[in-house]
Amino acid sequence: MSRYLNWLLRMRAVKNYLLKQIDKKPAGPNEERRAASKMFLWGKVWDSQQEKTSLLETVEGYTLTAKTSVLIAQKILSGNVKSGFQTPSKAYGPDLILEVSGCSRKDL
- Tell me the per-residue pLDDT of 23-76, one tens digit each, with 9 for 90 and over: 888 888 889 999 999 999 999 999 999 999 999 999 999 999 999 999 999 999
pLDDT at 27: 82
List own/partner pairs for 34-40 with CB under 8 A and 24 or more apart.
34/59, 34/60, 34/62, 34/63, 35/60, 35/63, 38/102, 39/64
- Beta-carbon neighbour count of residue 63 at 10 Å? 19
